[in-house]
């Protein structure tokens, strides 16, 4: 038999439960006029009565969705072809009894309609309809407040699942629900994925479930239920998603308030809308647990100011409404904000927003969990290592990671279009994506620098310094378990000092490159501000951002210009001293602000649950690298405040010496690597004759020699000869002096 | 053919009941109009603060007038409900007729060929068409009746906006298209109905 | 009235007087209802005129070049409308005057009823007569019902007088509506007063038991 094309239903057939077929097909299937017919469709099935098409044409099918399985609630897909085997006649007897759930449009209707009246209406509506157990009957064609009827049970024959309702069928209404509630129950099955927030989810779920489902237990304990929960966290960590997810899991209905919807232009309008929202939640709570979600709370209810602005009245209204919630109002208010400090403090006391749940930027393990969830539905190449990806995405929040995955998938798609054929997302696509998507924690941060990667090998000499730096920066990141085993604490800060031009900055760059962590760099100019207190605030904010995306390397170049010493007789209240105190506090303060909490406090346990080795390692890394590592560089160590140099602050002080003979040779080798150097060039000799040259000097020397070669042999120069080097040496003088170096040798402490 | 005869009788009944339905609805319309009018008066009374008007010398006026108005409205509602039972009898007669014809068809279905049922001539539509139209008409009256009944039964006199908007809502329930479709059907069947 | 007259032809004295009074009450109330109906028509006209006036007002508040030529006719139209309004108002005034007469008659009836009671007390002492005047009511009860009716109608009359004074001067649509609905639904004559009258008619034998 040929397939049938599904056409949309004729308007005059709406509500008739008819299924229009060609008469030929009807005869083949043995159908009479109006015989019940079960049509299976993608997503569910539908019970209809068969009627010939008015034009008697074959090959088409039209269906009025009157009685269907819940999966088809959202309607039929367009452009569908059905095979005739999907149609099967279904013998239907007259039903004696039927139990139903009625789904009505509004709470008002539910409240004001007497049950006997409703019974009468529904019975009238259902007469003559063929119904099937567990199916939904659509009543929208009646155009009343009764929208759907869900058939729960049909009788008397337990074997027959379907039947026709006559005027003699006894109807029993088990429950009356609103459409909103019904739809939320339907949606329960398709909850959005959520990674890495298990602990927060659990605590939030408990908070929702306890008062909503076991109110009697709480009252018997004499405890009043919490009414409000405040979610605090930076943008993009998934606060809104979390609420939706938890609400769905618990099976509660959700009333969402977005800021602009509430605020109206007329005086008093906003308050009125807010009251209506609460009323809405209250009526929704009558038929099941309900959550009132106020997103972007800070924009709606800012700190009240002295003048009588509209916001003040709105805040007052919210306070009144929250205080006016009685014990019988079984709904919970969840507010979400990323700027808790700008909220009105009156909102944050018990009785209003009792609990505050802080969601920080995701930690390493959380990022891994998020990535795993995100990549679940993507064809990801099995070689992509989520742990590795999580490691290089420090400072990325959930939204960033989702953007990253999208970006990676787009790259894979573009490549696929070009014709490589394989539709898999590989690591290189993620790498590409990383270039386009930056961590939102660092967005707009003043220390964000585009770092061109520098490898350790690109720095000649200074082996000892490199080792020390690796010890204090790279090792704790790479081998945290060793540190834990030996009870070592990673240093808080490192101070590099030494004569200018000896690769201090380059060393830090190399360290940042090798350790895969976020890198922030500031110099004096960044922090300078003509306003009092601005510089301090900027520095504090810098630390806050650095902590949000820890592990993080914070590089303070030329720290002596940034921060003075308290002892060297400057004005006691200068910007420098204030910055110094901020720095000391941030590095070694009492603790973090509660708002900056990330993940849950985790302590390493010896008897862990069975975990794979890599997981353990990741956890180790996560626990050990929560702090910000401060690296400072200066060439005037003597002008630093001594408080900055004591253990716990910049506790690792590394002297970067001017290059010795060996180092100079190494530097020259590195510098001339890309130069066509003539075979007569004796680098050892050059190294010996460049005493007191710094690294920068040596680099300059090579450049000068190359220029000289060009000068002498016009543009055709193909190699640089030894004489060029010698000539350059004679022109240049070293930038360091012996006296200077001896001054550094006195330890700064 | 007895099915033909039954169909003919049904459509004759439908024609007759259509007229009855229309005349009852006309009565209802004027009642609904009056009810809306009363609603407006109640609304006006609720909006005016009598203490600010020359009527302030009658302290109990508001209460008394409201009582009178509600009583009047109640009376009107009763009369409307009375009309509803007339509508119901129209609906019931059409419903009964339709189900009787369908039953007749089902009893005879084994002897009737689908092709024969769906055969039509230039003057007489096919039996399948007629069954369908009869069902459509029955559904229309059932729907109409139920909509009006729900509107009437869920009307609360305390809700002034509901009472004021009642005539409009009553009017919107009218479905001239469907009414016209039934009239058209009856026109198409006029030859069939006249032939004995 | 003829039927009641024949029925009560044999009855004399106080009983006769009571029965006649009841019939008069009935007649007065029918008359009142007629007046009320006419008055409502007039009141509706007045409100409609007022509304059409206010509707027409805005354009001639800002006379433009084109309308200034037709300014005179507009004024004339206005004065004509005002005259119409005045006429309707005086008609309504006439209706209310007649209502005043009705209420005055009601007062007289009540006074007569009171007089009958006084006479009875004078004849038979404070307990009153032993056998009832008609079926079962004591004389006192006739006076009571008369007073109830009188109170209702005189209060309603006061309301009507206020409405008459204010109706043409109010611009608020809601208030106009309230005046009209006051006139139509007569809040001070509740259904109980009709019942009182019916009881009176039953007692005096004008309505068959």
- Out of A338-352, A587-601, C111-125, C153-167, pick the least confident: A587-601
Put simply, the answer to whether B115 touches A23 (Cβ < 8 Å) is yes
Distance CA A228, CA A353 (A): 4
Element spanning A668, H or E? helix A661-671
Q: What is the mean pLDDT of chain A?
A: 77
* Cβ(A275)–Cβ(A317) below 8 Å: yes
Burial tier of C130 (Cβ tally within 10 Å: 0-12, 13-18, 19+) = exposed
How many other C-beta atoms are found inside a 10 Å radius of the C-beta of residue B111? 6
Distance from CA of B88 to the nearest CA of A (A): 11
Put simply, the answer to whether A12 touches B147 (Cβ < 8 Å) is no
Range of the domain at B138: 2-194
Residues A495-507 have a mean pLDDT of 79
Asked whether the predicted pLDDT for residue C64 surpasses 50, the reply is no
Asked whether the predicted pLDDT for residue A651 surpasses 80, the reply is no
Q: For residue A204, which of A169, A178, A233 has the smallest C-alpha distance? A: A233
Instruction: Say whether residue C187 is in contact with chain B using an 8 A CB cutoff.
Output: yes
Residue numbers in C near B69 (CB within 8 A): 181, 185
Residue A746: pLDDT band by 50, 70, 90 thresholds?
A: low
Q: Higher model confidence: residue B113 or residue A566?
A: B113
* Cβ(A292)–Cβ(A227) below 8 Å: no
State the total domains in chain B. Answer: 1
Element spanning A293, H or E? strand A290-294
Compute CA distances B190 → A30, A535, B176, B185, whole Å: 33, 94, 21, 9
Q: B28-44: per-residue pLDDT in tens?
A: 999 999 998 888 888 88
The tokens for A410 are 């787009």
Compute CA distances A427 → A382, A383, A478, whole Å: 10, 8, 21
Instruction: Say whether residue C159 is in contact with chain B using an 8 A CB cutoff.
Output: yes
* Cβ(A667)–Cβ(A515) below 8 Å: no
Distance from CA of A93 to the nearest CA of B (A): 13
Q: Which of C166, C174, C180 sits opposite B48 (nearest CB)?
A: C174
Distance from CA of B146 to the nearest CA of C (A): 33
- Out of A146-155, A307-316, B145-154, C137-146, pick the least confident: A307-316
Q: Which of B48, B53, B65 sits opposite C187 (nearest CB)?
A: B65
Instruction: Say whether residue C182 is in contact with chain B using an 8 A CB cutoff.
Output: yes
Distance CA B144, CA B126 (A): 27
The residue ranges of every structural domain in chain C are 13-39+92-203
pLDDT at C100: 92
Site from A52, A108, A110 to mutate, B interface, most B CB atoms within 10 angstroms:
A52
Q: C83-93: per-residue pLDDT in tens?
A: 888 888 889 99
Residue numbers in A near B107 (CB within 8 A): none
Residue numbers in C near B61 (CB within 8 A): 159, 182, 187
Residues 122-181 of A with CB under 8 A from B: 124-125, 127-128, 141-146
Question: Which among A192-206, A208-222, A610-624, C15-29 has the top mean pLDDT?
Answer: C15-29
Asked whether the predicted pLDDT for residue A623 surpasses 60, the reply is no
Put simply, the answer to whether B149 touches A12 (Cβ < 8 Å) is no
pLDDT at C101: 92
* Cβ(B88)–Cβ(B148) below 8 Å: no
Instruction: Say whether residue A34 is in contact with chain B using an 8 A CB cutoff.
Output: yes
Which of the 8 DSSP states describes residue A177?
E
The answer to whether the peptide bond before residue A551 is cis (omega within 30 degrees of 0) is: yes
Residue A617: pLDDT band by 50, 70, 90 thresholds?
A: low
Instruction: Say whether residue C111 is in contact with chain B using an 8 A CB cutoff.
Output: no
Distance CA C148, CA C153 (A): 9
Longest dimension (CA), chain A: 117
pLDDT at A342: 79
Distance from CA of B133 to the nearest CA of C (A): 48
Sign, Cα dihedral of A362, A368, A373, A379: positive
* Cβ(A511)–Cβ(A631) below 8 Å: yes
Instruction: Say whether residue A89 is in contact with chain B using an 8 A CB cutoff.
Output: no
Instruction: Say whether residue A33 is in contact with chain B using an 8 A CB cutoff.
Output: yes
- Region of residue A82 (phi > 0: left; psi between -120 and 50: alpha; otherwise: beta): beta
Residue A442: pLDDT band by 50, 70, 90 thresholds?
A: low
| Partners of chain A (3+ Cβ pairs below 8 A) | B
Kindly list the residues of chain B whose beta carbon comes within 8 Å of any beta carbon in chain A: 99, 102, 105-106, 109, 114-115, 117-118, 128-129, 131-132, 135-136, 139, 142-143, 145-147, 149-150, 153-154, 156, 173, 181
pLDDT at A601: 47
Which of the 8 DSSP states describes residue A418?
I
Put simply, the answer to whether A144 touches B146 (Cβ < 8 Å) is yes
% of chain C surpassing 70 pLDDT:
83
Which of the 8 DSSP states describes residue A452?
P
The tokens for A430 are 């993620």
Burial tier of A77 (Cβ tally within 10 Å: 0-12, 13-18, 19+) = exposed
Put simply, the answer to whether B143 touches A15 (Cβ < 8 Å) is yes
* Cβ(A192)–Cβ(A316) below 8 Å: no
What long-range pairs does A406-409 form, CB within 8 A, spacing at least 24?
A: A406/A433, A407/A432, A407/A433, A407/A436, A407/A437, A408/A432, A408/A433, A409/A378
Element spanning C80, H or E? helix C71-124
Residue A709: pLDDT band by 50, 70, 90 thresholds?
A: confident
Element spanning A652, H or E? strand A652-655
Burial tier of A615 (Cβ tally within 10 Å: 0-12, 13-18, 19+) = middle
Residue A608: pLDDT band by 50, 70, 90 thresholds?
A: very low
Task: Give ipTM to 2 decimals.
Answer: 0.88
Residue numbers in A near B136 (CB within 8 A): 12, 16
Put simply, the answer to whether A125 touches B106 (Cβ < 8 Å) is no
Q: Which of C159, C173, C181 sits opposite B69 (nearest CB)?
A: C181
Residue numbers in B near C159 (CB within 8 A): 55, 58, 61
Put simply, the answer to whether B146 touches A143 (Cβ < 8 Å) is no
Asked whether the predicted pLDDT for residue C68 surpasses 50, the reply is no
Distance from CA of B82 to the nearest CA of C (A): 22
Distance CA C88, CA C97 (A): 14
Asked whether the predicted pLDDT for residue A284 surpasses 60, the reply is yes
Asked whether the predicted pLDDT for residue B89 surpasses 90, the reply is yes
Asked whether the predicted pLDDT for residue A229 surpasses 80, the reply is yes
* Cβ(B114)–Cβ(B105) below 8 Å: no
Residue numbers in B near C173 (CB within 8 A): 44
Q: How far is CA A309 from the centre of its chain?
A: 35
Spell out the residues 6+ positions from residue A384 whose beta carbon is closer than 8 angstroms to its own: A375, A425, A426, A427, A430
Distance CA A265, CA A247 (A): 32
Number of B:C CB contacts under 8 A?
A: 60
% of chain A surpassing 70 pLDDT:
85
Q: Which residue has the tokens 């990535």?
A: A371
Q: Higher model confidence: residue C158 or residue A428?
A: C158
How many other C-beta atoms are found inside a 10 Å radius of the C-beta of residue C166? 15
Q: How are beta strands A228-232 and A331-337 bridged, if at all?
A: parallel
Q: Which residue has the tokens 């019970």?
A: A47
Q: Which residue has the tokens 């590089």?
A: A555
Q: Domains along chain A?
A: 4-89 (2.40.40.20), 93-186 (3.10.330.10), 193-358 (3.40.50.300), 364-436 (1.10.8.60), 456-604+611-655 (3.40.50.300), 661-745 (1.10.8.60)
Q: How far is CA B20 from the centre of its chain?
A: 10
Q: How many CA atoms lie within 13 A of A481 on its CB side?
A: 9
Question: Which among A106-120, A474-488, C64-78 has the top mean pLDDT?
Answer: A106-120
Site from B92, B111, B132, B169 to mutate, A interface, most A CB atoms within 10 angstroms:
B132
Residue A158: pLDDT band by 50, 70, 90 thresholds?
A: confident
pLDDT at C206: 81
Q: Higher model confidence: residue A622 or residue A546?
A: A546
* Cβ(A48)–Cβ(A64) below 8 Å: yes
- Out of A306-310, A338-342, A609-613, pick the least confident: A609-613
Put simply, the answer to whether B67 touches C190 (Cβ < 8 Å) is yes
Q: Residue B90, SS3?
A: helix
Q: B108-158: per-residue pLDDT in tens?
A: 877 777 777 777 777 788 888 888 889 999 999 999 999 999 888 888 888
Asked whether the predicted pLDDT for residue A197 surpasses 80, the reply is no
Instruction: Say whether residue B39 is in contact with chain C using an 8 A CB cutoff.
Output: no
Residues 120-139 of B with CB under 8 A from C: none
Phi/psi for A290 (5° steps) reads -145, 145
The tokens for A457 are 């090998």
Instruction: Say whether residue C178 is in contact with chain B using an 8 A CB cutoff.
Output: yes
Q: How are beta strands A170-178 and A97-104 bridged, if at all?
A: parallel
pTM recorded for the entire structure: 0.62
Site from A20, A25, A124 to mutate, B interface, most B CB atoms within 10 angstroms:
A124
Residue C35: pLDDT band by 50, 70, 90 thresholds?
A: very high
Residue A448: pLDDT band by 50, 70, 90 thresholds?
A: low
| Partners of chain B (3+ Cβ pairs below 8 A) | A, C
pLDDT at C7: 47
Residues A579-608 have a mean pLDDT of 58
Please provide the distance, in angstroms rounded to a whole number, between the alpha carbons at the two ends of chain A. 95
pLDDT at A4: 85
Residue numbers in A near B146 (CB within 8 A): 121, 124-125, 142, 144
Distance CA B46, CA B43 (A): 5
By C-alpha distance, the chain B residue nearest C157 is B58
Asked whether the predicted pLDDT for residue A550 surpasses 60, the reply is yes
Asked whether the predicted pLDDT for residue C2 surpasses 70, the reply is no
Strands (E), A53-118: 60-63, 67-68, 81-82, 87-89, 93-94, 97-104
Site from B36, B38, B39, B61 to mutate, C interface, most C CB atoms within 10 angstroms:
B61
Q: Residue A634, SS3?
A: strand
Asked whether the predicted pLDDT for residue B177 surpasses 80, the reply is yes
- Region of residue A395 (phi > 0: left; psi between -120 and 50: alpha; otherwise: beta): left
Q: A65-101: per-residue pLDDT in tens?
A: 888 888 777 777 777 888 888 888 888 888 888 999 9
Q: Higher model confidence: residue C36 or residue A724?
A: C36
* Cβ(A497)–Cβ(A635) below 8 Å: yes
pLDDT at B85: 92
Put simply, the answer to whether A124 touches B146 (Cβ < 8 Å) is yes
Asked whether the predicted pLDDT for residue A602 surpasses 50, the reply is no
Q: Higher model confidence: residue A199 or residue B173?
A: B173
């Amino acid at each position: 038999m040929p397939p049938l094309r599904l056409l949309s239903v004729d308007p005059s057939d709406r509500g008739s439960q008819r299924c229009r077929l060609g008469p030929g097909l009807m005869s083949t299937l043995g159908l009479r006029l109006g015989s019940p017919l079960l049509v299976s469709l993608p997503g569910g099935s539908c019970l209809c009565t068969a009627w010939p098409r008015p034009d008697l044409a074959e090959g088409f099918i039209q269906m009025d969705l009157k009685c269907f399985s819940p999966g088809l609630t959202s309607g039929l897909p367009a452009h569908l072809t059905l095979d005739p085997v999907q149609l099967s006649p279904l013998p239907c007897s007259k039903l004696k009894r039927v139990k139903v759930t009625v789904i009505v449009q509004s709470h008002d209707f539910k409240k004001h309609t007497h049950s006997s009246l409703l019974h009468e209406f529904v019975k009238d509506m259902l007469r003559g309809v063929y119904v099937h157990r567990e199916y939904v009957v659509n009543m929208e064609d009646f155009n009343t407040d009764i929208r759907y009827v869900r058939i729960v049970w049909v009788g008397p024959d337990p074997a027959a699942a379907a039947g026709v309702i006559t005027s003699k069928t006894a109807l029993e209404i088990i429950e009356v629900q609103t459409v909103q509630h019904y739809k939320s129950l339907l949606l329960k099955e398709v909850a959005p994925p959520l990674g890495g927030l298990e602990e927060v989810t659990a605590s939030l779920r408990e908070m929702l479930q306890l008062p909503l489902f076991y109110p009697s237990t709480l009252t018997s304990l004499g405890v009043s239920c919490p009414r409000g929960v405040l979610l605090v966290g930076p943008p993009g960590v998934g606060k809104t998603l979390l609420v939706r997810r938890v609400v769905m899991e618990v099976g509660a209905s959700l009333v969402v308030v977005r800021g602009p919807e509430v605020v109206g232009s007329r005086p008093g309008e906003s308050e009125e809308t807010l009251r209506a929202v609460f009323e809405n939640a209250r009526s929704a709570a009558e038929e099941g647990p309900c959550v009132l979600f106020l997103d972007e709370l800070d924009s709606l209810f800012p700190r009240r100011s002295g003048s009588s602005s509209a916001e003040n009245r709105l805040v007052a209204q919210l306070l009144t409404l929250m205080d006016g919630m009685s014990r019988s109002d079984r709904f919970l208010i969840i507010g979400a904000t990323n700027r808790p400090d700008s909220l009105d403090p009156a909102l944050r006391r018990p009785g209003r927003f009792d609990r505050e749940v802080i969601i920080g930027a995701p930690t390493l393990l959380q990022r891994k969990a998020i990535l795993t969830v995100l990549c679940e539905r993507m064809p990801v190449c099995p070689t992509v290592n989520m742990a590795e990806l999580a490691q290089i995405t420090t400072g990325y929040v959930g939204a960033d990671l989702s953007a990253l995955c999208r970006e990676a998938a787009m790259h894979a798609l573009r490549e696929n279009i070009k014709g490589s054929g394989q539709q898999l997302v590989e690591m290189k696509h993620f790498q590409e994506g990383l270039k386009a998507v930056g961590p939102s924690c660092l967005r707009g941060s003043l220390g964000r620098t585009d770092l061109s990667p520098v490898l350790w090998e690109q720095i000649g000499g200074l082996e000892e310094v490199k080792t020390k730096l690796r010890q204090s920066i790279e090792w704790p990141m790479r081998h945290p378990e060793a540190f834990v085993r030996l009870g070592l604490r990673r240093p808080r800060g490192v101070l590099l000092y030494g004569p200018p031009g000896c690769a201090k900055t380059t060393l830090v760059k190399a360290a940042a490159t090798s350790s895969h962590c976020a890198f922030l760099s500031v110099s004096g100019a960044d922090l300078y501000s003509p306003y009092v207190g601005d510089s301090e605030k900027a520095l504090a904010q810098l630390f806050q951002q650095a902590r949000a995306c820890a592990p993080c390397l914070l590089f303070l170049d030329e720290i002596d210009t940034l921060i003075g010493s308290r002892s060297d007789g400057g004005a006691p209240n200068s910007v420098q001293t204030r910055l110094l105190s901020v720095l000391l506090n941030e590095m070694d303060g009492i603790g973090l602000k509660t708002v900056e909490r990330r993940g849950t406090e985790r302590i390493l346990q010896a008897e862990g649950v069975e975990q794979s080795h890599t997981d353990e390692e990741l956890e180790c890394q996560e626990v050990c690298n929560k702090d910000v590592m401060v690296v400072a560089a200066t060439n005037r160590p003597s002008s630093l405040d001594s408080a900055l140099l004591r253990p716990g602050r910049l506790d690792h002080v590394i002297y970067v010496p001017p290059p010795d003979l060996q180092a100079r040779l190494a530097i020259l080798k590195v510098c001339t690597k890309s130069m066509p150097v003539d075979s007569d060039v004796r680098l050892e000799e050059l190294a010996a004759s460049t005493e007191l040259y710094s690294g920068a000097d040596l680099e300059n020397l090579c450049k000068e020699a190359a220029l000289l070669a060009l000068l002498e042999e016009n543009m055709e120069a193909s190699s640089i000869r030894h004489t060029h080097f010698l000539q350059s040496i004679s022109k240049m003088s070293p930038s360091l002096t012996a006296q200077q170096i001896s001054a550094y040798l006195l330890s700064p402490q | 053919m007895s099915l033909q005869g039954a169909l003919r009788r049904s459509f004759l009944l439908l024609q007759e009941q259509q007229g009855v339905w229309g005349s009852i609805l006309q009565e209802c319309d004027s009642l609904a109009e009056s009810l809306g009018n009363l609603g407006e008066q109640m609304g006006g009374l609720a909006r005016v603060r009598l203490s600010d008007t020359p009527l302030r010398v009658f302290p109990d006026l508001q209460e008394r007038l409201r009582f009178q108005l509600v009583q009047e409205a109640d009376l009107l509602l009763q009369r409307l409900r009375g009309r509803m039972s007339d509508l119901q009898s129209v609906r019931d007669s059409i419903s009964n007729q339709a189900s009787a014809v369908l039953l007749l068809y089902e009893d005879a279905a084994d002897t009737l060929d689908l092709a024969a049922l769906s055969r039509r001539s230039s003057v007489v539509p096919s039996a399948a068409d007629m069954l369908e139209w009869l069902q459509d008409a029955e559904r229309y009256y059932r729907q109409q009746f139920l909509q009006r009944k729900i509107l009437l039964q869920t009307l609360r006199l305390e809700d002034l906006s509901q009472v004021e908007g009642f005539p409009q809502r009553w009017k919107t329930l009218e479905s001239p298209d469907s009414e016209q479709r039934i009239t058209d059907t009856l026109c198409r069947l006029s030859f069939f109905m006249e032939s004995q | 009235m003829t039927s009641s007259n024949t029925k009560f032809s044999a009855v004399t004295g106080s009983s006769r007087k009571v029965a006649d009074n009841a019939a008069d009450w009935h007649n007065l109330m029918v008359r009142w209802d007629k007046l009320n109906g006419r008055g409502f028509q007039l009141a509706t006209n007045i409100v409609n005129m007022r509304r059409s006036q206010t509707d027409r007002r805005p354009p001639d508040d800002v006379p433009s070049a084109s309308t200034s030529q037709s300014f005179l006719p507009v004024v004339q139209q206005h004065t004509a409308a005002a005259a119409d309004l005045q006429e309707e108002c005086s008609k309504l005034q006439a209706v209310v005057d007649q209502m005043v007469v009705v209420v005055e008659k009601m007062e007289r009836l009540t006074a007569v009823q009171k007089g009958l009671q006084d006479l009875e007390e004078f004849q038979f002492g404070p307990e009153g007569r032993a056998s009832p005047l008609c079926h079962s009511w004591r004389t006192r009860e006739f006076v009571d019902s008369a007073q109830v009716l009188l109170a209702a109608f005189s209060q309603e009359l006061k309301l009507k007088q206020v409405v008459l004074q204010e109706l043409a001067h109010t611009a608020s649509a809601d208030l106009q509506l309230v005046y009209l609905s006051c006139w139509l639904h007569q809040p001070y004559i509740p259904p109980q007063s009709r019942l009182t009258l019916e009881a009176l008619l039953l007692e005096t034998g004008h309505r068959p038991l």
